[in-house]
Amino acid sequence: MATTVSSPAEVCARAREASRRLARTDTATKNAALRAIAAALRERTGEILSANELDLQAGREADIGEALLDRLRLDEQRIEGIAQAVEAVAALPDPVGETIDGHRLPNGLDVRKVRVPLGVIAVVYEARPNVTIDAAVLCLKSGNAIVLRGSSTAEHSNAVLSSIASEAAVRAGLPEGCVGLVAGGGREELAELATQTDTVDLIIPRGGEGLKAALKAVASVPVIYAASGNCHIYIDESADEAQAVSIVLNAKTQRPGVCNAVETVLVHEMAHGILPALLLALIDAGVTVRADEATQSSAAGLAGTFADSDDAESVARVQAIRDSVQPATEEDWSTEYLAPTLAIAVVDSVDQAIEHIALYGSGHSEAILTKDTAGARAFQLGVDAACVYVNASTRFTDGGEFGMGAEIGNSTQKLHARGPIGLRELCTFKYLVEGAGHVRA
């Protein structure tokens, strides 16, 4: 079972054996396994919450911060959401066996290019127990065995969730070892997992730059990096003020600790009139602003509008502005805060915004807020990122939101998979060639 204490090599070897059977498993059996997992999640909600509380308590004692605690936290509503996502994946078309291309050669050979599973996928992730289920069901539906390696922060939650997924899947007819968990250990264990070239076909890390660097140093297995999200929103001079404030607040404050939350806002110098309303909204939402000189000047002017009054509310406003708006450093522009902190800079054009994003962005999700079609098109063509938005929050970069049911992560690479990693991204392809006694002359 997934909770058996085994070495990474042993878990991966069992996954390799299971992957051979999974590749031939029919769609109905895979879907039944996913529906069984969803049902088991609902039936064992109390057990999941008890385990999760142990992790939350340890996180509070370690003072990991509210944003990370939010990523770690499960409740009945979130578990139900995970179960519904599992059912959504079960309802999606099976990518395995899908014909990508096909043709008959002049010599009469029939050639088809079809999707097939990758084989064994290892997913290494931090602090988000929902990934345990999301990753497992996406791999199983796409005919892959999975090896999970979560962080110690979510140790108890991951153990219960992986056990639930494994037990339900096996009862429904999938092979033993199809869901494996590598639990405990440190960097040595990660290095062992990352070098299982005989049994693991792909590793997908889902975490910050530290995890990415740790894998880069040791991995001999191919890696798709679902890593950091230093996301930007550029507010053009033609942007609607109310819409801009609403989108920035959503992108920053809905869930600050996730990779598609905005970390830097760039404002066109001719749209500086938006800054006072934006700053007030951010401050009221508890966001700390790291500001360039132009934004600091706007903040000072905003404070001045309240300074002439000595009533308690105005005095509090002035103090909140002074406390919340701080000078930005060079480091701020490249920081993924994963917290209620936002950098703001004023730029003179869409081209300067694109240059800033090229210099500091991580290739995850970038947005422009504008009414100018030409400016929007320039941004779409000029920004190099997995997802580029026009007049929408960066928070939509998500497999569930994109109709994939769930995701393992968001790839910031360009080869094989980019953006949300769903069912098709977990497949490769093979050519099936059929003849009638053909020999090559």
The tokens describing 264, both together, are 């830097």
- 231-396: CATH architecture: 3-Layer(aba) Sandwich (3.40)
Q: What is residue 226's DSSP assignment?
A: B
Percent share of the chain, pLDDT over 90 = 82
Left (φ > 0), alpha (ψ -120 to 50) or beta: where does 342 sit?
beta
Of the candidates 332, 340, 367, which has an alpha carbon nearest to the alpha carbon of residue 256?
A: 340
First to last CA, the chain: 53
Q: Give me the pLDDT at residue 225, please.
A: 85
Q: What is the pLDDT of residue 214?
A: 87
Q: Which amino acid is at 163?
A: S
- Render 283-346 in DSSP notation, one character per residue: HHTT-EEEE-HHHHHHHHHHHHHHHT--SHHHHHHHHHHHHHEEE--GGGGG----SSEEEEEE
Mean pLDDT of the chain: 94
CB neighbour class for 433 (10 Å; exposed up to 12, middle 13-18, buried from 19): exposed
Q: pLDDT value at position 4?
A: 45
- Sign for the CA dihedral angle at 240, 242, 246, 249 comes to positive
3-state secondary structure 228-250: CCCEEEEECCCCCHHHHHHHHHH
Residue 303 to residues 242, 245, 298, 316, 319: CA-CA distances in angstroms?
A: 21, 19, 9, 10, 8
pLDDT at 346 (0 to 100):
98
Q: Which of 27, 25, 53, 48 is nearest to 38 (CA)?
A: 48
DSSP 8-state symbol, 270: G
Specify the pTM. Answer: 0.85
Q: Give domain 8-226+408-434's CATH superfamily.
A: Aldehyde Dehydrogenase; Chain A, domain 1 (3.40.605.10)
Asked if 2 contacts 179 with a C-beta cutoff of 8 angstroms, the reply is yes
CA angle (243, 247, 253) in 5-degree steps: 140
Q: Give the pLDDT of residue 312.
A: 86
Helix, strand, coil percentages (3-state) for the chain, rounded to 5, are 45, 20, 35
Where do the structural domains in the chain lie, given as residue ranges?
8-226+408-434, 231-396
Please give the pLDDT value at position 5: 61
pLDDT of residue 3: 43
C-alpha span between 202 and 240 (Å, rounded): 44
**pLDDT computed for residue 403 by the predictor:** 86
- The distance from CA 324 to its chain's CA centroid, rounded to whole angstroms, is 29
Q: Are 228 and 259 in contact (CB under 8 A)?
A: yes
Q: What is the predicted pLDDT for the residue at 184? A: 63
* Phi, psi for 428 (deg, rounded to 5): -115, -155
pLDDT the model gives residue 1: 39
Compute the C-alpha angle 318/324/326, nearest 5°.
110
Low-confidence ranges of the chain (pLDDT < 70): 1-5, 184-185, 227
What letter does residue 437 receive in the DSSP assignment? S
Q: How confident is the model at residue 227, as a pLDDT?
A: 65
